[in-house]
Amino acid sequence: MIGIYLLGAFAIVIILFFSRNKMLVYSLAGLFLVLQWMITIYACLHYRNTELIYFTFDSLGVILLITLSIIAVPAFIHSYIYIENHHENQQTRAIYLTAMVLLIMAISAGYLSNHIAVTWIFTEITTLSASALIYHHRNKLALEGTWKYVFICAISITFIFIGILFLSLSLQNAGSDDLSFRNLLARRAELNPVWLRMAFLFIFTGFTAKLGLVPMFTAGIDAKDKAPAPAGALFATVLMNLGFVGIFRFYIVIANTPLLHWAQLVVGSAAFLSLFVSTVYMLKVKNIKRMFAYSGIEHMGIVMLGVAAGGIGYYAAILHIILHAFVKSSLFFQFNQLYTVFQNKSIYHIGNYFKYNPTGAMVLLLGFISATAMPPSGLFVSEFLIFKSIFDAGQILLLIVVLLLLTMIIWAFGKNMFKVLFVPAVGFDDSHVPKISPWESLSQFILLAAAVYLGLNPPAVFVKMLKESVALLPM
Amino acid sequence: MIHVLLITFIITLFYMSIANRLMTYIKVLALQGVILFFVVFLQLSEINTLNLVLILLETIVFKSLAVPIFLGYLLKRNNITREAEPFLPNFVSLVITTFIVVITILISNTIKDDHLDKIFFVVALSTLFFGLYLIATRRKIITHVMGYMVIENGVFVLSLAVGNEMPMLVNLGILLDIFASVLILGIFLNKIGDVFKDVDVDQLSNLKDY
């Protein structure tokens, strides 16, 4: 089935790229969504099976695949609204949808792959398709964003490749040449620790470009800013999750070797630095879309702190990235309506949004409450568990500093958000504000509600899968 | 013989660190491709012939012909001035490059592994860091591309070290080479040159937070 999925998606990509007919383009996008849901349901039914050697429907992959498929539906709906509102020409429309389909296909395959080199290949493909989406507007700023993204991602995938080479050196002592995660885990005792350290450093650094951690987070911010908001929603959520999968699967291997403590130190310090950097930028940032992007860096920092702390932190980390995906994507989906009203991204020129679009303003308000992890947001639960894991690990000083940083982030986020919602913008002429249908906000409400539901009252099967994803880690 | 070639490869890095003109950079990249061609020929003795031919073709056709010709074409098409415009004086560059190589040799001495010829490790790692250094200290965007090509050559050397046992990794390296180069150079050819007339990194600072 995964073979059919990949071939089908490739066929759709090729036809989409050359088709100019409006009906055909949209029906192909719809067809891809059907295909996406078919593979998702198939993966649930054939749980733990391996197909085509390199793809396994394991718990982590399946949960994230379901998350992706759920977010993909509103992503296409909002893309449709976006394209029709901007009266895009036939060519840009076709390229946009092609890149979107290719991106979702590559992310899905990356989640499911059980071999580090295969994950790497699909990460490369996401770079290609993402760059086409970032360059959608064809102007100077978009070009700058695309160039930075492509260049940083090219370096980071090179880093991952170097890491894979070191990993193969580390495996040579074990007399094996199979780089699948399962084989690495089985031969963990025979891996050469020096090469393993180098491999982890390079692979971790490489995947931070996708995950959005220090040191490679910069490119992702520009990408989320310049790409159309529906594509930005995918970059800020499911693409970050791909980076997480790449790091996490390898982390499982290294956590079962004597290098666990060292790896915790590496991951923990990168995570803390990300949190610090995102705080600094959140206090300064005036572009609301970039503010959402920096909030993503903050959340990934929290997630990786949970991974580094261990214990309940592993479980909470995976819960957190899923809930974060729902919340952050709804904020990004909402952004286009905000932009339609004010025609500006700067905080200075946006204000009193409740007056112009009450439904959309409700989404922003609820999204703000969710993203800052205030109850009843589901993120509250996962963040609380992560703090508990840091506490259990005995890092009380770290916890205090983290909480202080988070307080500053909530202050900055809240200050900007309440300005957007309630304080009138100076000199804004509201005679030409278009009417926005409340139905366009429906998907955002559903996503936010899903985050609350999954956080506060997770279904038993969901908890079981989360627990299985972290079962291989030492508790 | 392989050692001689790899040491020549390191010497090209020193030459590159003090070179002034962009055409020299391009010629050095072509030379590195030729050196890699011979290294592949001598090193990968155990893999099957078809694969070997593919790898050889990649080094000679892609690394030492296609990319340099393309870069030269870009220079002409975008009317890029011939100076590399480093931020640091050449002497400092040379010292830093030496420093990089010495550090990697020291690192390699701490590693005990009978399976690996350490010179591959030294060459690969110093090329990687030199490439990053080149990217960080040159003003023009096209020198960033050249720095990236240098990094790729370094990675290719490292992949040759394990090439006999795992030819798949060498092929993956080639995939990376072609994919990333085409993507980066493609954007450069089509867009950057047209939009940013004076191709300089200072122009790429309009994406801001406020």
Q: Is 60 exceeded by the pLDDT of residue A221?
A: yes
Q: Is B172 on the interface with A (CB under 8 A)?
A: yes
Assess whether the previous peptide bond of A215 is cis (omega < 30° from 0).
Answer: yes
* pLDDT of res. A217: 92
Phi first, then psi: give them for residue A121, nearest 5 degrees: -60, -45
For the entire predicted model, the pTM comes to 0.94
Q: Quick one: average pLDDT of A329-354?
A: 91
d(CA A383, CA B199) in angstroms, rounded, equals 45
Per residue in B79-113, pLDDT tens?
A: 777 888 888 899 999 999 999 999 999 988 888 77
* pLDDT of res. B189: 67
Q: By three-state DSSP, how is residue A287 classified? A: strand
Secondary structure E strands in A380-455: none
- Closest to B45 measured CA to CA, from B174, B173, B163: B163
Please say whether the beta carbons of A124 and B176 come within 8 A: yes
Chain A residues 125-164 with CB within 8 Å of chain B: 127-128, 131, 135, 140-141, 143-148, 150-151, 154-155, 157-158, 161-162, 164
- Closest to B55 measured CA to CA, from B43, B67, B40: B40
Residues A425-455 as b or e (16 or more Cβ within 10 Å = b): beebeeeeeeebeeebbebbbebbebbbebb
Sign of the dihedral defined by the CA atoms of residues A374, A376, A377, A383, in that order: positive
Q: Which residues contact A435 (CB under 8 A, 6 or more apart)?
A: none
The pair of three-digit structure tokens given for residue A399, joined into one six-digit string: 């916890």
- Closest to A161 measured CA to CA, from A107, A116, A211, A215: A116
Q: Which residues contact B115 (CB under 8 A, 6 or more apart)?
A: A169, A172, A173
d(CA B167, CA B56) in angstroms, rounded, equals 13
d(CA A240, CA A283) in angstroms, rounded, equals 23
Q: Is A287 left (phi over 0), alpha (psi -120 to 50) or beta?
A: beta
Q: Is 90 exceeded by the pLDDT of residue A295?
A: yes
d(CA A286, CA A282) in angstroms, rounded, equals 9
Q: So where are chain A's domains?
A: 1-257, 259-475
Q: Quick one: average pLDDT of A103-118?
A: 95
Q: Is 60 exceeded by the pLDDT of residue A374?
A: yes
* pLDDT of res. B118: 85
Residue type, B34: V
B21 DSSP assignment: B
Q: What percent of chain B has pLDDT over 90?
A: 37
Residue type, A222: D
B91 to B7, B13, B25, B87, B128: CA distances (angstroms)? 21, 14, 17, 12, 20
* pLDDT of res. B76: 84
CB contact under 8 A, A140 and B206: yes
Mean model confidence pLDDT for chain B? 86
Q: Considering only A449-463, B58-72, B102-116, B125-139, which range has the smallest mean pLDDT?
A: B102-116
Q: Is 80 exceeded by the pLDDT of residue B193?
A: no
Q: By three-state DSSP, how is residue A338 classified? A: helix
Q: What is the number of residues in chain A?
A: 475
Secondary structure E strands in A213-277: none
Q: What percent of chain A has pLDDT over 90?
A: 80
Residue A48: Cβ within 10 Å count:
11
Q: Is 70 exceeded by the pLDDT of residue A384?
A: yes
Residue A456: Cβ within 10 Å count:
13
Q: Is A295 on the interface with B (CB under 8 A)?
A: no
Q: Considering only A36-45, A314-323, B50-59, which range has the smallest mean pLDDT?
A: B50-59
* pLDDT of res. A429: 82
Assess whether the previous peptide bond of A376 is cis (omega < 30° from 0).
Answer: yes
* pLDDT of res. A361: 94
Q: By three-state DSSP, how is residue B86 classified? A: strand
Alpha-helical regions (H) of chain B: 2-18, 22-43, 49-57, 67-77, 90-109, 118-137, 141-161, 167-187, 193-195
Q: Quick one: average pLDDT of B151-155?
A: 92
Q: Quick one: average pLDDT of A441-445?
A: 94
Q: Indicate the pLDDT class of residue B198, thresholds 50, 70 and 90.
A: low
- A-chain CB neighbours of B209 within 8 Å are 281, 284-287, 290
- A-chain CB neighbours of B172 within 8 Å are 117, 120-121, 161, 164
What ipTM score was computed for the predicted complex, to two decimals?
Answer: 0.92
Per residue in A61-101, pLDDT tens?
A: 999 999 999 999 999 999 999 999 988 888 899 999 999 99
* pLDDT of res. B199: 59
* pLDDT of res. A242: 96
CA within 13 Å, CB half, B4: 3
Mean model confidence pLDDT for chain A? 93
Q: Is 60 exceeded by the pLDDT of residue A434?
A: yes
Which is more confidently placed, A293 or A143? A293
The pair of three-digit structure tokens given for residue A45, joined into one six-digit string: 């039914």
Q: Is 80 exceeded by the pLDDT of residue B202?
A: no
The pair of three-digit structure tokens given for residue B106, joined into one six-digit string: 């020291």
Which of A120, A154, A168 has its CB closest to that of B162?
A: A168
Which of B169, B173, B204 has its CB closest to that of A148?
A: B204
CB contact under 8 A, A146 and B187: yes
Q: Is 60 exceeded by the pLDDT of residue A20?
A: yes
* pLDDT of res. A304: 96
How far is CA B26 from its chain centroid? Answer: 10
The pair of three-digit structure tokens given for residue B28, joined into one six-digit string: 């050095």
* pLDDT of res. B138: 86
Q: Indicate the pLDDT class of residue B197, thresholds 50, 70 and 90.
A: low
Q: Indicate the pLDDT class of residue A427, thresholds 50, 70 and 90.
A: confident
Q: In terms of CA atoms, which chain B residue is nearest residue A195? A: B111
Please say whether the beta carbons of B154 and A150 come within 8 A: no
A439 DSSP assignment: G
Q: Please report where in the chains the tokens 């790692």 appear, as a residue.
A: B125
A472 DSSP assignment: T
- Closest to B86 measured CA to CA, from B145, B147, B36, B18: B18
Please say whether the beta carbons of A421 and A353 come within 8 A: yes
Q: Is A357 left (phi over 0), alpha (psi -120 to 50) or beta?
A: beta
Per residue in A171-207, pLDDT tens?
A: 887 777 788 999 999 998 888 888 899 999 999 999 9
* pLDDT of res. A339: 92
Kindly state the helix (H) or strand (E) to which residue A200 belongs, with its residue range. Answer: helix A193-211
Residue type, A339: Y
- A-chain CB neighbours of B210 within 8 Å are 284-287, 346
Q: Is 80 exceeded by the pLDDT of residue B205?
A: no
Closest Cα of chain A to B156: distance in Å? 9
Sign of the dihedral defined by the CA atoms of residues A333, A337, A340, A343, in that order: negative
Q: Is A285 on the interface with B (CB under 8 A)?
A: yes
* pLDDT of res. B95: 95
Q: Quick one: average pLDDT of A246-274?
A: 95
d(CA B45, CA B47) in angstroms, rounded, equals 6
CB contact under 8 A, B204 and A146: no
Residue A1: Cβ within 10 Å count:
17
Q: Quick one: average pLDDT of A362-386?
A: 93
d(CA A116, CA A114) in angstroms, rounded, equals 7
